[in-house]
Structure 1
Amino acid sequence: MTATEKDLTLTVERVIDASPETLFDAWLDPEMMKRFICPGDTTVPSAFSDAHEGGRFEVMMRVDGKDLPHTGTYKLIDRPNRLVFTWESHASRDDSEVTLTFTPAPGGTLVTLTQVRFLGEDQRDGHRKGWTSILEKLATVA
């Protein structure tokens, strides 16, 4: 692994017309997770969340009829300000980590999502597209 691969990060942001509490809670509620953690044409037939620091989650994404688990461990749960979890999938490194912050802003809440450590630029760019779609969907269901 090169230093460049180790240092790859992405950040996406969106202002959503909902409170920080509502948006924060959506990331921990399996029924809500199924409604928005599904980029593009992906569906989520099942989601699970053991929402405490050290707890695990799973989002089973179905893409073209194939189930792809996306799992992780909650590292920090600071409601309604900050949520940190690992991100484990077929397209990410084992030590990839996602940080979400929820900041009151004109028009609602500024949601900032940062993911660190990728296999390469293609995976980072694919995740950027996915996370952008996820935040767009969150705005429609929150």
Structure 2
Amino acid sequence: MGNYSKTTLTMVRNIDVAPKNVFDAWINPEIMRKWFFTLEGTNKVAYNSPQVGGTWEIVDHRDGKDYRAIGEYLEIDSPKKLVFTFKMPQFNDLEDTITVELKQLPQGSEMTFSQEIIVPHEENWTAADIEKAVKEHHDGTEQGWNYMFMGLKELLETGEISYKG
């Protein structure tokens, strides 16, 4: 692939459960299938091998199409930190890196999420085109994670997600 830019998205969320429970939601396939790029009603695959060098895969079926997200674990320090790659091969071969850090709070956990987003450039793009694409990728990614994190918080705090897909 040709030129690309990088941007970093950072989000912080407080969840009223212990860091161990939040960490588990990121690596337990039975929990992942309920919120992580998918919903229980649309999930087709939730696979995970949570060790450094291990891989994960989610396949979600929406609007007649399968959407596949895959990655590899780079760092696992339960229940404090998780670093893994993320890509959706049906769109491109670019691989983002995601870091999830968890801190114990007096009431629950603070989750700091960051994603290094790689934004591909098309030929003949101007600086303004690149700037616009970077902003669109950043904002679109943030919106998607915001929905997922609302579901994660609801799932961990109440035991279920009200929106089933």
- Using the size of structure 2 for normalisation, the TM-score is 0.76
> Hey, what does 2:74 align to over in structure 1?
75
CA RMSD of aligned residues (A): 2.0
**What are the equivalent positions in structure 2 for 1:61-140 lying under 5 Å apart?**
61-89=60-88, 90=90, 94-119=94-119, 120-121=133-134, 122-140=136-154
Larger Rg: 2
Number of residue equivalences: 138
CA distance in 2, matches of 1:14, 1:76: 21
AA of the residue aligned to 2:81? R
Does residue 57 (structure 1) correspond to residue 56 (structure 2)? The answer is yes
Query: Mind listing any 5+ residue stretches in structure 1 that lack a counterpart?
Result: none
Render the CA deviation track for 1:64-83: whole Å, top value 9, x for unaligned.
22111000000001000000
CA distance in 1, matches of 2:104, 2:38: 25
- 1:38 Cα deviation from its structure 2 partner: 3.5
Render the CA deviation track for 1:13-38: whole Å, top value 9, x for unaligned.
11001100011011111110011114
Query: Mind listing any 5+ residue stretches in structure 2 that lack a counterpart?
Result: 120-132, 157-165
Pick which of 117-126 and 24-33 moved more.
Answer: 117-126
Render the CA deviation track for 1:41-88: whole Å, top value 9, x for unaligned.
x93222100110000000112232211100000000100000000011
Render the CA deviation track for 1:79-122: whole Å, top value 9, x for unaligned.
00000000111557623100001111243101111000321422
- Using the size of structure 1 for normalisation, the TM-score is 0.87
Pick which of 16-25 and 102-111 moved more.
Answer: 102-111
- Contact 1:91–1:123 (CA<8 Å) still a contact in 2? no
AA of the residue aligned to 2:147? S
CA distance in 2, matches of 1:53, 1:103: 21
